[in-house]
Amino acid sequence: MKSVRKVRCLKGELRVPSDKSISHRAVILPALAEGESYVQEWLWSKDTLATLNIIRALGVKVRYKNGTLRIKGSNFELSEPQRVLDAKNSGTTARLMLGVLATQRFFAVLTGDQSLRRRPMLRVVEPLRRMRAHLDGREGGDKLPIAIRGGALKGISLFNKKASAQVKSCVLLAGLRAEGITEVYEPYLSRDHTERLLSAMGVKLISYDGKDGRVVKLEGGQTLKATEILCPADPSSAAFFTAGAVLLEGSEILLKDVLVNPTRDGFFRKLREMGAHVQYENLREISGEPVADVYVKYSGGLKAVDVHPEEVPSLIDEIPILAIVMAHAQGVSTVRGAGELRVKESDRIKAIVENLRRMGAKVEEYEDGFSIEGGTPLRGALIKTYGDHRIAMSFTIAGLTAEGETQIDEPECVAVSYPNFFQDLERLTC
Ligand code: S3P
């Protein structure tokens, strides 16, 4: 249990830990390449360690020296793991690694923690079966543990109607060793880190706006070349401090080296639409990704906003913290088309609605989102995190703005993406 109380403001400079999505890919793709890759500023967290441990269990040599991960690529010659592979709490690990395992002729079993074993996997199992990999698991293959034997794949064309980067990445990774063309369509562009890194590693990718949305295509049999990657700071982690600074009078912070890829920075854009002072400084490109220092100041008189379905992919992981900002804005804010939140690390719609109500906010729940009538001052409450890191961090920030004491029930779950969250928050608190 962690106790949180109202603070005056947030002040200072902070480089939040590196991007989780990029850090997963920064070990998975180099593990498949020819030659040795070097990764700097890699994120050490529970989720990304799950990926690293699986990569090692598949025979890939990874060393860590002087702040650099050195990954000896296998050029797709992985070895059969002797134990069950454990993706722990990480959906990205499970789904991307199933795509990798599908390229291999050996037998492997993948599992995860209690939360991950409840999350849907058919979205990757079905396309991989269509590519001719053999997969079996609980509930017809929808739930982990899943057993897989791959090899001799055939390219497919997939319409990815939920615009999921995990599904897209899984199928593209399998497509690298499939016969012919593999293509993925999505109604809106989901995060494109896999495509950016594949291109940087010499893979020829074709992506364009098709009539049903975005298309990305590749031809099987291409080799990945080793590369150097510098991981930028995670906008999803930066979002918590950004919200805190916007809401607490007198705050002023600078968040360094933040990834501002347009498929990821929807939260910052939404805050600006609400009238918040969030500014990108020193915009530059690092390892093929746009990066900026984000300057944030207290912003009074925030206006309510709506999040529309097509905007959801660019801020999907920030919706819990956006909900906290919405609770402080004047008017009714809504989020729709975000049903995916129900199958994240927890049912995030339920967790947001339930915990905000406990804090006294006026919230309505929908199957695919919620609406919040902002402006009622929040009061401290007991927060049920459901073991979900983003719920824990979002409601810690809510607690900083509330009267009385807020208690967070499983604060240690922040280690999934941000092991030093509470220490960093303490440092910025004035
Ligand atoms: C991720 C993709 C998103 C996101 C998750 C990380 C990724 O999920 O919510 O936290 O690294 O590819 P979906 O692909 O299911 O939308």
Among protein residues, the one with the nearest Cα to ligand 1's atom 11 is: 21
Phi-psi region of 337 (alpha: psi -120 to 50; beta: other; left: phi over 0): left
Assigned token pair, 191: 């995060």
Instruction: Give the contacts of 426 (CB within 8 A, at least 6 positions apart).
Output: none
In degrees and rounded to multiples of 5, residue 98 shows phi and psi of -65, -35
Taking alpha carbons only, the member of 47, 35, 36 closest to residue 96 is 47
Indicate the top mutation candidate among 20, 116, 166, 321 to test ligand 1's pocket, ranked by most ligand atoms within 8 A of CB.
166
Q: Which atom of ligand 1 is nearest to the CA of 194?
A: 12
Q: Which atom of ligand 1 is nearest to the CA of 165?
A: 14
Q: Quick one: angle between helices 235-247 and 421-428, nearest 10?
A: 30
Indicate the top mutation candidate among 18, 19, 20, 21 to test ligand 1's pocket, ranked by most ligand atoms within 8 A of CB.
21
If one counts every other C-beta atom within 10 angstroms of the C-beta of residue 301, the result is: 9
Among protein residues, the one with the nearest Cα to ligand 1's atom 4 is: 317
d(CA 13, CA 255): 6
- pLDDT confidence of residue 38: 98
pTM over 0.85: yes
Q: Please tell me which residue in 19, 257, 317, 388 is annotated as part of the active site.
A: 317
Kindly give the distance from the C-alpha atom of residue 92 to the centroid of ligand 1, in angstroms, as a whole number: 6
DSSP state of 343: G
- pLDDT confidence of residue 212: 72
Residue pointed to by tokens 């055939």: 154
Known binding residue 88? Answer is no
**Model confidence at 104: pLDDT above 90:** yes
CA distances from 133 to 56, 74, 116, 148 (A): 22, 20, 22, 7
Distance of CA 145 to the CA centre of its chain: 22
Assigned token pair, 307: 């999040």
Taking alpha carbons only, the member of 32, 151, 172, 142 closest to residue 102 is 151
CB 279 within 8 A of CB 294: yes
pLDDT class of 94 with cuts at 50, 70, 90:
very high
Cite the beta strand spans of 121-194 per DSSP E. 134-137, 143-149, 153-154, 157-159, 178-179, 181-186
- pLDDT confidence of residue 61: 98
Q: Which atom of ligand 1 is nearest to the CA of 317?
A: 9
CB 121 within 8 A of CB 141: yes
Among protein residues, the one with the nearest Cα to ligand 1's atom 16 is: 164
Known binding residue 407? Answer is no
d(CA 256, CA 261): 15
Q: Bigger pLDDT: 161 or 115? A: 115
Average pLDDT, the chain: 98
**Model confidence at 148: pLDDT above 80:** yes
**Model confidence at 415: pLDDT above 90:** yes
153-154 and 143-149: which strand pairing?
unpaired
**Model confidence at 253: pLDDT above 90:** yes
Known binding residue 166? Answer is yes
pLDDT class of 213 with cuts at 50, 70, 90:
confident
pLDDT, tens digit, 9 for 90 and up, residues 311-363: 999 999 999 999 999 999 999 999 999 999 999 999 999 999 999 999 999 99
Q: Give the pLDDT mean for 268-286.
A: 98
Q: 215-231 burial by CB neighbour count: b if 16+ within 10 A, else e?
A: bbbbbbebebebbebbb
Amino acid at 181: I
In angstroms, how far apart are the furthest CA atoms of the chain?
61
Q: Is 368 helix (H, G, I), strand (E, B) or coil?
A: coil
Residues flanking ligand 1, CB < 6 Å = 21, 24, 92, 164-166, 169, 190-191, 316-317
Q: Which atom of ligand 1 is nearest to the CA of 21?
A: 11
Q: Give the pLDDT mean for 123-138.
A: 98
Kindly give the distance from the C-alpha atom of residue 165 to the centroid of ligand 1, in angstroms, as a whole number: 6
The number of helix segments (H) and strand segments (E) in the chain equals 13, 25
Kindly give the distance from the C-alpha atom of residue 95 to the centroid of ligand 1, in angstroms, as a whole number: 10
- Ordered by where they begin, the domains of the chain are 2-18+232-428 (3.65.10.10), 20-230 (3.65.10.10)
**Model confidence at 235: pLDDT above 80:** yes
Kindly give the distance from the C-alpha atom of residue 164 to the centroid of ligand 1, in angstroms, as a whole number: 6
Q: Is 302 helix (H, G, I), strand (E, B) or coil?
A: coil
d(CA 41, CA 363): 39
Indicate the top mutation candidate among 189, 193, 216, 316 to test ligand 1's pocket, ranked by most ligand atoms within 8 A of CB.
316
Q: Is 355 helix (H, G, I), strand (E, B) or coil?
A: helix
**Model confidence at 160: pLDDT above 80:** yes
- pLDDT confidence of residue 10: 98
Q: Which atom of ligand 1 is nearest to the CA of 169?
A: 12
Tell me if the bond preceding 145 is cis, omega within 30° of 0: yes
Q: Is 234 a catalytic residue?
A: no
pLDDT, tens digit, 9 for 90 and up, residues 22-65: 999 999 999 999 999 999 999 999 999 999 999 999 999 999 99
Q: Bigger pLDDT: 210 or 414? A: 414
- pLDDT confidence of residue 423: 98
d(CA 34, CA 68): 18
- pLDDT confidence of residue 305: 98
Known binding residue 348? Answer is yes
End-to-end CA distance of the chain: 23
Cite the beta strand spans of 298-401 per DSSP E. 306-307, 331-335, 362-366, 369-374, 382-383
d(CA 285, CA 98): 31
**Model confidence at 138: pLDDT above 90:** yes
Q: What percent of the chain has pLDDT over 70?
A: 100
pLDDT class of 210 with cuts at 50, 70, 90:
confident
Residues in the chain: 430
Assigned token pair, 373: 């009538």
Q: What percent of the chain has pLDDT over 90?
A: 98
Kindly give the distance from the C-alpha atom of residue 166 to the centroid of ligand 1, in angstroms, as a whole number: 5
- pLDDT confidence of residue 211: 78
